Amino acid sequence: MTASHLLRRLQKKRLLVKSRKRGMHKGQRQANSYGSSLEFSDFRLYQPGDDVRQIDWNIFGRTQKHYIKRFLDEQEVSIAIYLDATSSMRAITGKWELAKQLAASLCFVVLNSEDRLSFCPVSTTAMLPVTRKGSVYGKMVFHDIMKMAEQDKTGNFSERAQQALVKRQQLAILISDGLEPAAQIEGLFKKLRSLRQEVWFIQVLGTEELRPGHNGDIRLIDSETDTVVNVSMNEAIAREYRARIAEHNKQLEALCRRFGGHYLLLTEDKDLQTFLFHDLPGKGLMN
């Protein structure tokens, strides 16, 4: 799948946001109020002070009454996307590339919908935060994210993300492996709730992180703290590990639900197009 093919498929997509809050600037989303878009709503009788250019003279010819056309207002939505760029995310190349491609794709959709984007790569200096509005920036931001290079060891997505949160957003999308204590991630969710932002948590994991395939004596090195643990891997230990990671992921999903958010799991072996064009619409998160 080439980037150009993916972007063509994404051109008519739009993220579906529950929040009724809207920005003050013009966009492509229909608001509940009336405004100056090209999307016709209905007619009403002319009143002094109305714009005479909106009078429908065809109706006047039939009724001898002045009616004006009303159009739905169109306003932007502000969406922040936070990409976990800590060492654990970058430890597995396939996982990191998938996470970048997901973030880049969602950023493209936001900009192509004429919504306002805040993109924040958390815990890295490889790319500065991006604030943009307008489809003209879509491809540029997509390719800039895909070119993000690996940096020195960093850690703790939740704490860094709390420091980077952007206020006055309707939606916050968190893209992370979630490989830290659930209590720390809960603190991030609490902060987002205090900002009255809808939350999507997209957990990206490598195949090896879900189903380790090693046997025998191995040395495990924490990619963020350099802590070393020697393990004699066998089927019993692998089974216990799978049970623990499954329980951890359930805790993350429960946290999302408790705070009114959405949880999705994307694994390294899953096709990104299936996730974007099947899973997200199936959850009611994309048209």
- Tens digit of pLDDT for each residue in 182-235? 999 999 999 999 999 999 999 999 998 988 876 765 666 655 555 666 566 788
**Mutual angle of helices 93-112 and 138-146, in 10-degree steps:** 170
Q: What is the spatial distance between Cα 144 and Cα 136, in angstroms, rounded to a whole number?
A: 14
Beta strands at 216-221 and 228-233: parallel, antiparallel or unpaired: antiparallel
So what's the pLDDT on residue 38?
Answer: 45
In the chain, pLDDT over 90 holds for what percent of residues?
Answer: 57
pTM for this prediction: 0.80
* 247, pLDDT greater than 60: yes
Q: Over 80: is that where the pLDDT of 44 sits?
A: no
Quick one: average pLDDT of 57-64? 86
Q: Please enumerate in sequence order all residues whose Cβ is within 8 A of that of 88, keeping only pairs 6 or more positions apart, or say none.
A: 155, 177, 179, 223, 224
> What are the tokens at 54?
């909106």
What integer best gives the mean pLDDT of the chain?
Answer: 84
Class of domain 76-282: alpha beta
Residue 50: per-residue pLDDT:
72
d(CA 280, CA 47): 45
In this structure, of 60-64, 118-122, 210-214, 228-232, the range with the lowest mean pLDDT score is 228-232
Residue 162 DSSP SS3: helix
**Which of the pair, 23 or 85, is modelled with greater confidence?**
85
Please list the residue range(s) of the chain that carry CATH number 3.40.50.410.
Answer: 76-282
pLDDT in tens, 18-43: 865 544 444 455 444 444 444 445 56
> Is 195 within 8 Å of 166 (Cβ atoms)?
no
